[in-house]
Amino acid sequence: MGDLMTCKINADTSNGLKFVSDTSGAVEIQTNGTTVATINSNGTVVIPTVTNGTAVATTSGTAVDFTSIPSGVKRISMMFNQVSCNGTAPRLIQIGTSSGLVTSGYISSGSHQGATQTGAQSTAGFLCGNGGAVGDKTVGIVTIQTLGSNIWAMQSSTADGTANFTKTGGGSITLGGVLDRLRLSTTSGATFDHGSVNIAWEY
């Protein structure tokens, strides 16, 4: 980082500092053209803490990769909107660093609950449940959060949408570096054919 420009305002008093908007508009703090904090005229303070990525249609392909996730992110959520594929396998999430996706070493298991219940384990990725039918349209959220030291934990809670099943999963893994990407796929390499997915991240 280069030298910072320092702007001192009324810095020689111990009485604090007051920003005044002389109209009824909001007061915004911006950096690089982006508003990072807003104080509205009604007194509410808005500091966005969740950033959404770009929603992607899961209507083709066998995987969706989200890359260039900013460093310093502590929690990532993946939101499923009726994600369907042409196979019966559960959804799988892998995370990685600038060196690539990590495809082994996960401690993860998932299960489904409904008319029947079964579970499974995976070392190849975070398992978001177990089992499935071709017509399943996954809805819900998966959360991946760091403990620090590049250790990440995952929990998933989704539903099939078109069937009376819920699916849960959990897992953890230690990465060799800073997380900057993740992949949604299935264990079977099935092709996505419906819905959309997005991620959001928090610092």
Partner 1 sequence: MARKEINVMTGEITEHADDAPVIHVQTPQEKRAYEYPSIGDQLDALYHAGVFPTDMANAIKAIKDKYPKE
Question: Which parts of this chain interact with partner 1 (CB under 8 A)?
Answer: 53-54, 56, 60-70, 88-89, 92, 103, 112, 114-116, 118, 120, 122, 124-125, 131-133, 183, 185-189, 191, 199, 201
Token digits for 23? 């109209």
Residue 137's alpha-carbon distances to 85, 106, 122, 140, 164, in angstroms, are 8, 25, 22, 10, 11
Residue 193 Cβ vs partner 1, minimum distance, rounded to whole Å: 13
Indicate the residue among 39 and 53 with the shorter CB distance to partner 1.
53
Residue located via tokens 């929603």: 55
Question: Taking the alpha carbons of 94, 100, 104, 107 in that order, is the dihedral positive or negative?
Answer: negative
Paired with 184 in beta bridges are 64, 93
CB of 87 to partner 1, least distance (A): 8
Compare residues 112 and 194 and give the one whose CB is closer to partner 1: 112
Q: Which is nearer to partner 1, 162 or 188 (CB)?
A: 188
Beta carbon of residue 120, minimum distance to partner 1 (angstroms, whole number): 8
Closer Cβ to partner 1, 17 or 115, answer by number: 115
Least distance between partner 1 and beta carbon 89 (Å): 6
- H or E, element range at 167: strand 166-174
CB of 10 to partner 1, least distance (A): 37
Q: By C-beta, is 21 or 123 nearer to partner 1?
A: 123
Gap between the Cα atoms of 73 and 69, Å rounded: 8
CA dihedral defined by 28, 29, 34, 36, rounded to 10 degrees?
A: -100
